[in-house]
A and B are shown apart, each in its own frame.
Chain A
Amino acid sequence: MRNFVHLFEQLDTTTKTNDKIEAIHQYLSTADEADQLFAIAFLTGNKPKRPIKTTLLKKWAAEISTIPEWLFDESYYIVGDLAESLTLILPKVDNQNPFSLRDIYQKLLDWYGQEESLQKRAITAYWRELSGTDLFVFNKFLTGNFRVGVSKKLVIKAISRYLQLDEAFIEHRLVGKWDPLKEKMSTIFLSDLQEERHFLPYPFYLAYPLDGAVDILGDLSDWLLEAKLDGIRGQLIFRKQELFVWSRGEDLMTDKFPEFTSLKDLLPNGTVIDGEIIPWKNGKPLDFNVMQTRIGRKNLSAKTLAEAPLVMVCYDLLEWAGRDIRDLPLVDRRALLQQLLEDIQSPVLLLSPLLHFDSWEGAMDYRTHARDYYAEGLMLKHKQSPYESGRKRGNWWKWKTDPMTIDGVLIYAQSGHGRRANLFTDYTFAVWDGDQLVPFAKAYSGLTDKELISMDNWIKRNTIEKFGPVRSVKAEMVFELAFEGINLSPRHKSGVALRFPRILRWRKDKSIQDANTKQDLLDLIAAST
């Protein structure tokens, strides 16, 4: 693990992409095969789930360091990262690090669900033998995401350089969660796709947002236009009599969608469909909220299934009769898809309808009123486009309708995490309900670094009260928030829930009396249903 820690230090002390790729490449060139695999797993975020509860880790660390837990918490608010807080607070020891990445990976699995006393003995034993970056990396394995300032893309580049294989190929092989205990470098990167890795989806092709004028796309007749639906993007795979459903987040979600089980008897082997999984009733999509509640459920009751029946609105065919057809032009892929869906006639697979307009103006008009058609905008895809991988400009565009906006007053601030640690960047906003300000949304993004720093200063000077990491501040600052949807929600104090709220701009020109009211929010809901 020492070499991996050294790699981590190199990655952490440079901001230059090339240096990072080279550091990973160097590591792979000298590490033995077991380490290579586990390093790739950890660096791409593929690690066992958090085995120990956060509260226990905090408790033990406070105990060993002979400080009260409230003091640990106060420190944690400032550091903004649990692994780092543990590392800084635990007593310094002479570093001995005889561990291998494989050992630790295995232990992370073993510890999960173990009895508390056993967990404690095991973890504190590690803590007594590690310090500095070694301890930090170990704690990072224990807690949350192992984000180290390298994107999956960088790791892919480094592997591609090391194995002398194409990046797109490497990316494909690393899709989804794989088990480094069961794999070898050769099984992952060199095996036959159809035969041995038949569960793997293709890397998703993602559209860029269209920010300029639509006219630059040229002739409307070169493009296929579809409604952009708000569901879960997924790939449905049927190979070797097995069905797999992958989400765009590269989670295998087959079990979440029992509706699709019936397809096993209908689909031909060697079929991969790309589409939007969405709750659907009476010929139209239901709100995304319905989906979210359903996805959150561990057990799917008959009632849930009836309330939120899912379909896939299919828009692309990536594999047909066992053949990878991603290089065919979209029109041809779509023709095959249409034929396939007509052949099998399943109520859970719908064809995404094409939208026809006489001119771009017609499309623009649709976009403006997209919400009336249960859509969040339009998808524009070039007829001749191949199915590419990742987010690429040129052939596919998403053209979302303008977000809804509302002016809110900042009332609470909390410090952020990671790069934003010890900086007040997480805000809660309120609208007027009579003469009261009621909180209705939290937002973390949308301000520039410069604005964040000046807000941070302002917050420190205008704090009314501190509650742990949260500060209530003087009602003075007004921000325009944008969001994609709004719904009634009994779980929120204000009675409404927003979808994807973010800060659009800092309204320095407005005073708090100009902020919107709760009634304005309710009117928005009424207008959108």
Chain B
Amino acid sequence: MKLLSVTNKGLFCKQANIYIDPWKPVDRAIITHAHSDHARWGMGHYWCHWDSIPVLKMRTGADTNITGLAYGEEIEINGVHISLHPAGHIIGSAQIRLAYQGEVWVFTGDYKLAPDGLSEPFQLVKCDHFITESTFGLPIYQFPSVFDVYQDINQWWKHNQQQNLNTVLLAYSLGKAQNILKHLEANIGEIYLHGAVDNVNQALREVGYQFAGQRIQADTDRSKIKGALIIAPPSAAETPWIKKLRPYKIAMCSGWMQLRGARRRRGVDQGFILSDHCDWAQLNETVVQTGAHDIYVTHGYEAVFARWVRERYNIKATVLKTLFNDEMEETE
């Protein structure tokens, strides 16, 4: 009998009677991080990292029952020892470690090894059974250093400003937006935010994070916004809201920007390769170093990556079907 299995409601630990990132309402849920494909509405009780609480509340309601945990803090339910460990994906993101009768399971949620300069860096957790995501599990994904990309973004902003253009960055409102804000050179010019980004910033303020940027309100005089940098979620692309900020250059910030076709389809001027997931090298490094003898590969290129792990490392690797976002993070 396996400690973790997939049911129609989500990833389930029967021994502890608890779900991890379930996609249907259940009584008890541990949440890896507050992105909407992992943190859904309607659970009786949530456990997550302290830093995930405000955003989780913002998305599920202020009266949600949530228990906060620190990284490394252990709880025991019916003999199962459960703890959260930094996943390096976004602020508050965690891998879930479950140990029962000497056997250790780890579910990564979403994760990355490369530090982004903001979220707690990934911590390797030794285990027997390792469930990994595979969003970018193909050798075509080799991401540049995020710090180089931050620099490119600042350069581009300056360049656009010299031509009296605004700079619009499309980035996830939770995660990437904050990473970028943290690394913008404040002296270049003014920074403006889409409401969705500012909402997340306000929530994160409750747990001690401060970010630059003014929210664009309905009555904000947009004719005064010149040479500024504006961060908005990808869904705002090509909306009247964005168009009122003309003239501008617009860029998408995403791991998918590694592919020319994806960038051209977006119709943006620039694509910055910026991801909160592991690239190919990072995924490989992790599956080997966890020491796990069983690897389960989920959301992404699961079949391909599992086959690769079997053939290359001679480790048992299987596909685990889940409902976490299939293939496109932009639906967030």
Contact = CB atoms under 8 A, between A and B. Distances in A.
B140 A67 contact: no
B139 interface: yes
Contact of A419 (B140, B141, B265, B270): B265
Interface residues of B, number: 23
Contact of A460 (B138, B264, B327): B327
A421 B139 contact: no
Contacts of B139: 65, 67, 71-72, 75, 88-89
A14 B268 CA distance: 8
A92 interface: yes
Nearest to B267: A15
Interface in A64-114: 65, 67-68, 70-72, 74-75, 78-81, 84-85, 88-89, 92
B102 interface: no
A289 interface: no
A71 B139 CA distance: 8
B261 A14 contact: no
A422 interface: yes
Contacts of B267: 15
Most interface-central of B261, B308, B311 (chain A CB within 10 A): B261
Contact of A13 (B141, B142, B269, B308): B269
Nearest to B265: A419
A423 interface: yes
A329 interface: no
Interface in B250-266: 258-262, 264-265
A507 interface: no
B260 A71 contact: no
Interface string A50-73: 000000000000000101101110
Interface in A447-463: 460
B304 interface: yes
B211 interface: no
A420 interface: yes
Given A68-B311, A460-B327, A75 B261 contact: no
A466 B259 CA distance: 22
B304 A71 contact: yes
Contact of B259 (A12, A79, A89): A79
A84 B326 contact: no
Interface in B111-141: 138-141
A84 B262 contact: no
Nearest to A149: B264
B261 A74 contact: no
A422 B259 contact: yes
Most interface-central of B139, B141, B142, B301 (chain A CB within 10 A): B139
A258 interface: no
B160 to A, nearest CB: 12
A390 interface: no
Contact of B260 (A65, A81, A423, A466): A81
A394 interface: no
A88 B258 contact: yes
B261 A88 contact: no
A466 B302 CA distance: 13
Contacts of B269: 13-15
A74 B138 contact: yes
Interface string B293-306: 00000000101100
Interface in A395-431: 417-423
A418 B142 contact: no
Interface string A122-160: 000000000000000000000000000100000000000
Given A71-B304, A84-B260, A88-B258, A78 B265 contact: no
Band of interface residues on A: 20 to 34
B259 A421 contact: yes
Given A13-B270, A88-B140, A89-B140, A74 B259 contact: no
Nearest to A65: B139
Contacts of A149: 264
B325 to A, nearest CB: 11
Contacts of A71: 138-139, 304, 308
A74 B260 contact: no
A525 B270 CA distance: 51
Given A14-B269, A15-B267, A71-B304, A418 B140 contact: no
Contacts of A418: 261, 264
A479 B139 CA distance: 36
A89 B279 CA distance: 12
Nearest to B258: A88
B32 to A, nearest CB: 23
Contacts of A84: 259-261
B327 A92 contact: no
A422 B140 CA distance: 13
Contact of A75 (B140, B265, B307): B140
B235 to A, nearest CB: 14
B184 to A, nearest CB: 21
Contacts of B307: 70
A140 to B, nearest CB: 11
A419 B138 contact: no
Nearest to B303: A466
Nearest to A68: B311
Contacts of A70: 307
Given A13-B269, A460-B327, A88 B264 contact: no
B144 to A, nearest CB: 10
A371 B138 CA distance: 51
B307 to A, nearest CB: 8
Contact of B140 (A15, A85, A420): A85
B262 A74 contact: no
B140 A78 contact: yes
B317 to A, nearest CB: 14
A472 B308 CA distance: 24
Contacts of B262: 421-422
Contacts of A15: 267, 269
Contacts of B264: 149, 418-419
14 contacts: A12-B260, A65-B139, A71-B304, A72-B139, A74-B138, A80-B261, A81-B260, A84-B261, A88-B142, A88-B258, A419-B264, A420-B261, A421-B259, A460-B326
Given A13-B269, A149-B264, 17 more contacts: A71-B138, A71-B304, A71-B308, A74-B301, A78-B301, A79-B140, A79-B259, A79-B261, A84-B260, A85-B140, A92-B142, A418-B261, A418-B264, A419-B261, A421-B262, A422-B259, A460-B327
The 4 A-B pairs of least Cβ separation, nearest first, read A421-B261, A88-B140, A75-B140, A74-B304
